[in-house]
């Protein structure tokens, strides 16, 4: 399957001032495959060490001299390593976090050897061990699960992907293609973007076998915490993941996870899941200006799971009739649609930056909420997510009036459009702004389409 992050890895490899890379991301999003693919495409000899499988290999790095380290690896693996034609891959490095400090020596003393370290629980491990990261000597890349566009490509729809990736607001999207995209959107909501699940779907369109893999992935996420010695009840972790699915689109409330438990251990377990990137916080923003994280209220946040397919399994959507799941997905009051849009917005930010998402919610008095608030250049842009073709925009009108903004976005199931609105808020305030409406399946291209609409 084609991964868009591969292009950025190619650019990293060509950089004359290349630093060792630390590739981060949740378990099973395709980090190992991406590195192996890089070596294969670029004709490099892959030297792969997996420290979760063979933790004793960490002692090969006892020296601070890269030449001695390579001699140790050559002796262990019975191979030869030529720095200018090899790629050193340190997989599951969270199992040997002391090795992070060794990466600096490859930047300083052997820059011609490309080095990539990858791991699924890096924050988890680094909080536990007091090892210092070699600041300024490494670079971080962040891998998400397959985006919707990658899913479209992976399911054999290359021509449709080309249409979507080059679509201009000045052209018309044919109704037939629009319906085809909505059908793929429905499939993605059930299958998600975890590579192994997508591969299984490509092999035979068997939803039951995909569901089994998804259930195994959820079990793997729970088991990880026991593997690294965390004394967190597996039942609590399961309840948190289920609660994230149930609370999609709403302010996340810890007490709804398990009213019988004290809040402190629940918060701790949720934090661990966030560090492992199984769950993601959508942070509150006041929306008054940039940066979006300024004036944030930490008591307010929403939560997403790593993948919409895992959400659908937990909600039981995979076990009902196709017509019924379609009805639910397109009328879920925005919950699944927000999960979908959040994944695409995160994918658009990765792999060069650690994706962050924000939303706005009135913290006192009258109700009001904007699903996502993004930065585009020097603009604050509110983004409303609708699971169907229609829906109220009272909060958006009020937000635009209060913040004195002139541009907003709506994602729904309609065809693309741009219109200049002149309306009144529920309080009678006149407000005028430009509204870009795009189908949910185009969320990944939001930045480019905003540029066209301005």
At residue 1, the pLDDT reads 82
Taking a C-beta distance cutoff of 8 angstroms, is the pair 272, 222 a contact?
A: no
Residue 156 has pLDDT above 60, yes or no: yes
Helices (H), 96-194: 103-109, 122-128, 148-154, 158-166, 175-191
At residue 383, the pLDDT reads 98
At residue 328, the pLDDT reads 82
Each residue's pLDDT tens digit, 361-392: 998 778 899 999 999 999 999 999 998 877 78
Q: Which of 139, 344, 368 is nearest to 357 (CA)?
A: 344
Supply the pTM of this predicted model: 0.94
Taking a C-beta distance cutoff of 8 angstroms, is the pair 254, 243 a contact?
A: no
At residue 324, the pLDDT reads 82
- Residue in this structure with the two tokens 């994706």, named with its chain if needed: 355
Residue 26 has pLDDT above 80, yes or no: yes
At residue 332, the pLDDT reads 60
At residue 406, the pLDDT reads 97
Taking a C-beta distance cutoff of 8 angstroms, is the pair 150, 1 a contact?
A: yes
CATH 3.40.50.300 placement within the chain = 5-142
At residue 333, the pLDDT reads 62
Express as a percent the part of the chain with pLDDT over 90: 81
Mean per-residue pLDDT over the chain, rounded: 93
Residue 297 has pLDDT above 60, yes or no: yes
Lowest mean pLDDT among 32-41, 124-133, 319-328: 124-133
Please, which pLDDT band fits residue 214 given cuts at 50, 70 and 90? Answer: very high
At residue 235, the pLDDT reads 87
At residue 365, the pLDDT reads 73
Taking a C-beta distance cutoff of 8 angstroms, is the pair 263, 270 a contact?
A: no
At residue 188, the pLDDT reads 97
Please, which pLDDT band fits residue 230 given cuts at 50, 70 and 90? Answer: low
At residue 223, the pLDDT reads 84
Class of domain 5-142: alpha beta
Can you tell me the distance from the alpha carbon of 91 to that of 95, in angstroms, rounded to the nearest whole number?
9
At residue 375, the pLDDT reads 97
What value does the mean pLDDT take over residues 92-106?
92
At residue 38, the pLDDT reads 98
Give the C-alpha distances (Å, rounded to integers) separating 187 from 154, 207, 271. Answer: 13, 10, 30
What value does the mean pLDDT take over residues 284-299?
94
Helix then strand then coil, in percent of the chain rounded to 5, is 50, 15, 35
At residue 129, the pLDDT reads 64
Express as a percent the part of the chain with pLDDT over 70: 97
What value does the mean pLDDT take over residues 252-259?
95
Residue 149 has pLDDT above 80, yes or no: yes
Please, which pLDDT band fits residue 225 given cuts at 50, 70 and 90? Answer: confident
How many CB atoms within 10 Å of residue 416? 19
Please, which pLDDT band fits residue 258 given cuts at 50, 70 and 90? Answer: very high
Residue 338 has pLDDT above 60, yes or no: yes
Answer positive or negative: Cα dihedral of 36, 37, 40, 44: negative
At residue 90, the pLDDT reads 98
At residue 334, the pLDDT reads 62
């Amino acid at each position: 399957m084609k991964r868009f992050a591969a292009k950025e890895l190619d650019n990293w490899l060509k950089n004359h001032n290349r630093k060792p890379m630390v590739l981060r991301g949740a378990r099973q999003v395709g980090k190992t495959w991406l590195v192996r693919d890089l070596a294969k495409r670029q004709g490099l000899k892959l030297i792969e060490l997996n420290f979760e499988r063979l933790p004793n290999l960490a002692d090969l790095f006892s020296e601070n001299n890269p030449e001695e380290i390579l001699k140790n690896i050559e002796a262990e693996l019975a191979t030869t390593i030529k720095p200018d034609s090899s790629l050193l891959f340190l997989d599951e490095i969270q199992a040997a976090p002391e090795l992070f400090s060794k990466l600096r020596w490859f930047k300083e003393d052997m820059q011609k050897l490309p080095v990539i370290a990858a791991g699924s629980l890096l924050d988890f491990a680094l909080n536990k061990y007091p090892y210092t990261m070699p600041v300024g000597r490494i670079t971080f890349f962040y891998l998400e699960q397959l985006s919707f566009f990658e899913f479209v490509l992976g399911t054999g729809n290359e021509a449709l992907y080309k249409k979507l990736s080059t679509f201009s607001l000045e052209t018309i999207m044919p109704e037939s293609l629009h319906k085809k995209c909505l059908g793929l959107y429905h499939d993605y909501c059930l299958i998600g973007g975890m590579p192994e699940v997508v591969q299984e779907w490509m092999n035979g369109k068997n939803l039951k076998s995909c569901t089994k893999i998804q259930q195994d992935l959820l079990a793997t996420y729970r088991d990880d915490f026991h593997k690294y010695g965390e004394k967190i009840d597996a039942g609590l972790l399961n309840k948190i993941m289920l609660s994230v699915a149930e609370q999609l689109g709403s302010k996340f409330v810890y007490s709804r996870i398990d009213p019988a438990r004290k809040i402190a251990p629940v918060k701790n377990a949720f934090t661990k899941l966030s560090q492992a990137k199984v769950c993601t916080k959508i942070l509150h923003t006041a929306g008054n200006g940039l940066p979006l994280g300024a004036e944030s209220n930490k008591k307010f946040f929403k939560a997403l799971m790593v993948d919409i397919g895992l959400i659908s399994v937990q909600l039981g959507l995979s076990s009902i009739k196709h017509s019924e799941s379609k009805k639910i997905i397109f009328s879920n009051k925005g919950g699944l649609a927000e999960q979908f849009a959040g994944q695409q917005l995160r994918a658009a930010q990765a792999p060069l930056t650690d994706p962050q998402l924000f939303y706005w919610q009135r913290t006192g008095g009258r109700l009001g909420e904007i699903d996502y608030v993004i930065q585009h250049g020097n603009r604050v842009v509110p983004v409303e997510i609708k699971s169907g073709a229609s829906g109220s925009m009272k909060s958006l009108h009020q937000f635009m009036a209060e913040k004195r903004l002139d541009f907003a976005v709506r994602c729904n199931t309609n065809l693309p459009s741009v219109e200049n609105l002149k309306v009144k808020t529920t309080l009678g305030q006149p407000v005028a702004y430009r509204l870009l409406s795009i189908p949910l399946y185009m969320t990944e291209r939001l930045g480019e389409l905003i540029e066209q609409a301005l």
